[in-house]
Structure 1
Amino acid sequence: MSDFFERVTQISSRSKVAERQALTEEATKTSVILPFLQALGFDVFNLDEVIPEFIADVGTKKGEKVDFAVKIDGKIAMLIEAKPVNAKLGDVQFNQLFRYFSVTEARLAILTNGREAWFFSDTDEPNKMDKRPFFKFDFQNFDKDQVEELARFQKPNFAIEAIVEAASNLKYTRAAANYLRKQLEDPDDDFIRLIGRQIHEGSITKNVSEQLRPAVQAALDEVIRDRIQDKLGVAFSGEKRAAAEPEAAPVAETAANTDDIVTTEDEIAGHLIVRAIAARHVPVDRISIRDAKSYCAILMDDNNRKPICRLYFNSNTTRHVGIFDADKSEARHKVTGPQDLYQFTDELETVIKAYL
């Protein structure tokens, strides 16, 4: 897996270069898409594995081409349509993929611009490509779990039934997550009635539904907050155990420990809370902590030029948190402790997304 991760990292570097220099679809194919297929284990110079400009006549339409067809064991396994790296995949038309999907053996189709790759299958209707991708991979912003998902498409691992089953699971998981996210933000009447039938005796009339709505919303917030607190408690316990059993530090670091900077438990807790808030948008290991004498900084990518917030927790009487905006202007707010960071979830998410 580490070897595959390294290959994907190399594709990521190519994608970033292509975004600056590749001006055409052909340049994108050469610089990113063909190396991507190679990273998956396919021989791009072997026409028995990768067929460029693949032709499959559809009805009265003759001579139309899809950019690549990938064969495994002599059968068409994947169709790939390429777009220029500066094209937004959500805006492009990919009609060839839809048409060719139904007249070939392929059950997998990839739309890519060298910046992202969108994966489609036929989980809704057999032999008909789904309108929505079941998996999206961003070559320039990914984590270990996403690379593990991408590894399913390597030639040595390729098992179409397992891929389609995973695609179906991902589709339903994504749909359920989207539904629950919508209910968290603004629960609809059906959701209120569903909960209401479990907690209210009698009919759920419109008036009853409106009376229950704020209670349901508050309960959802409480459940999410408790789940986060539970996870933070586990992580925080791990931090304290690690602190209680320090490894022997190299002699060269001894001098650095003589300064007066001590990262407190509240600062560690604040860091973990910001990580929890950021987890909806970025891998949590991108949220770093860097302590100083007067404040504790929470940064994106451990980069001073990407400040998220500062924790002013050193005073025994008055505490503040400084929240940065997209222009890196800091606004200070009085708080009682790290738990108050949840009050600034929207502001924290805004600055985090600004650095993506």
Structure 2
Amino acid sequence: MSDFFEQVEMIASRSKVAERQALTEEATKTSVILPFLQTLGFDVFNLDEVVPEFVADVGTKKGEKVDFAVKIDGKIAMLLEAKPATTKLGDVQFNQLFRYFSVTEARLAILTNGLEAWFFSDTDEPNKMDKKPFFKFDFQSHDRAQVEELARFQKNSFAIDAIVEAASNLKYTRAAASYLKGQLEEPEDEFVRLVGKQIHDGSVTKNVLEQLRPAIQSALDEIIRDRIQDKLSITFNGDKRPSPEPREPSSKDEASSDDGIDTTEDEIAGHMIVRAIAAKHVPIERVTIRDAKSYCAILMDDNNRKPICRLYFNSQTTRHLGIFDSEKQETKHKIEGPADLYRFADDIEKAVLAYSS
């Protein structure tokens, strides 16, 4: 598996170059898509495995082509349609791929622009390609779990029944996650009523509904905080490295103690929370703290060129969290204390993933 991870990272590098330089579909195919198929274990120079410009008659349409048909043991296993890196997949009409899916034995279709790969199957209706992908892989931004999912499509381990079963599970899991995320942000009346029937004696009237809504929303927030805190406890309880031996303070230590920098308990708590959020993507040791007079920086690899966020906790009246985007531009958000960092978990994860390689 380690070799596969390394090969995927090479594709990630190619994708970044293609995003800047590949202006045509052919350039995208050559620079990213064919190497991607090779990474999955297919011989792109063998027509028994990869057939470019695959032609099949679809009803009254004659001579239509799909960019690649990928074969295993002489049977078409996957269809792949390529788009230039300059194209957003969300804007693409993939009718050709949809039509070909129904007239070939393939049960898997891939749409890619060299930046992302969208995977489709027939989980809704047999032999009819789903309208939505069951898996999206971002070549430039992915975690270990997503690479492990991608490994399912390697030639040497390709099992279509297992893939389709996983696709069905992924589809429902992600649909449920999307629904629950919506309820977390703004609970719908039906959701509040469903929960309300379990916790309220009597009819759930409109007035009761409005009274329960903020309580249910707070309860959902509390559940998420508790789960993250549990992961935090497990992470640090499992860190059994011995404490360093006590030593006499050096003159350098004495000088630094008078520089006006005092790392507070809240800043340390903020560091621990960021580590907990980052733990599912990177080893927690990579998330470090570096205090300064005006802010406390949370960095990746103790490198000030890899900022994750900044904690502005020195003021007695207001506190802020600084979040960095992909361009390392900082946006400040007013917060009450360390616990509010959980509200920005998605932004923190994005910053961590940018430096995860």
Taking structure 1 as the reference length, what is the TM-score of the superposition? 0.84
Q: Mark the CA change 1:28 to 1:352 in structure 2 (over 3 Å): closer, same or farther.
A: closer
* 1: CA distance, partners of 2:11 / 2:116: 11
Letter in 1 for 2:126: P
Could you tell me how far 1:330 is from its partner in structure 2? 7.3
Q: Mark the CA change 1:107 to 1:223 in structure 2 (over 3 Å): closer, same or farther.
A: same
Per-residue deviation, residues 18-52 of structure 1 (Å, max 9, x unmatched) = 11111110011111101110110001111111000
Matches within 5 A, 1:288-327: 288-292=287-291, 294=293, 296-299=296-299, 303-305=303-305, 307-311=307-311, 323-324=322-323
* 2: CA distance, partners of 1:332 / 1:66: 48
Q: Mark the CA change 1:299 to 1:16 in structure 2 (over 3 Å): closer, same or farther.
A: same
* 1: CA distance, partners of 2:244 / 2:59: 70
Q: Mark the CA change 1:160 to 1:255 in structure 2 (over 3 Å): closer, same or farther.
A: farther
* Residues 85 and 115, structure 2, Cα contact 8 Å, conserved in 1: yes
Paired position in structure 2 for 1:140:
140
Matches within 5 A, 1:268-283: 268-276=268-276, 283=281
Q: Mark the CA change 1:13 to 1:124 in structure 2 (over 3 Å): closer, same or farther.
A: same
Could you tell me how far 1:237 is from its partner in structure 2? 2.6
Paired position in structure 2 for 1:349:
347
SS at match of 2:42: coil
Per-residue deviation, residues 279-330 of structure 1 (Å, max 9, x unmatched) = 8xx9455983242464541136755345343346799x99965525668457
* 1: CA distance, partners of 2:320 / 2:236: 20
Structure 2 stretches lacking a partner, 5+ long:
none
* 1: CA distance, partners of 2:232 / 2:28: 43
Could you tell me how far 1:209 is from its partner in structure 2? 1.7
SS at match of 2:304: coil
* Residues 118 and 135, structure 2, Cα contact 8 Å, conserved in 1: yes
Paired position in structure 2 for 1:203:
203
SS at match of 1:204: coil
* 1: CA distance, partners of 2:281 / 2:189: 34
Paired position in structure 2 for 1:108:
108
* Residues 306 and 355, structure 1, Cα contact 8 Å, conserved in 2: no
SS at match of 1:228: helix
Quick check: 1:61 aligned with 2:58? no
* 1: CA distance, partners of 2:40 / 2:113: 17
Letter in 2 for 1:177: A
Letter in 2 for 1:291: R
* Residues 297 and 311, structure 1, Cα contact 8 Å, conserved in 2: yes
RMSD: 3.5
* 2: CA distance, partners of 1:354 / 1:267: 18
Paired position in structure 1 for 2:164:
164
Taking structure 2 as the reference length, what is the TM-score of the superposition? 0.83
Paired position in structure 2 for 1:250:
none
SS at match of 1:304: strand
Paired position in structure 1 for 2:13:
13
* Residues 15 and 140, structure 1, Cα contact 8 Å, conserved in 2: yes
SS at match of 2:85: coil
Could you tell me how far 1:143 is from its partner in structure 2? 1.3
* 2: CA distance, partners of 1:319 / 1:216: 28
- Identity among equivalent positions (%) equals 72
Could you tell me how far 1:64 is from its partner in structure 2? 0.4
* 1: CA distance, partners of 2:93 / 2:235: 45
Letter in 1 for 2:47: L
Structure 1 stretches lacking a partner, 5+ long:
248-253
* 2: CA distance, partners of 1:301 / 1:60: 60
Letter in 2 for 1:230: D
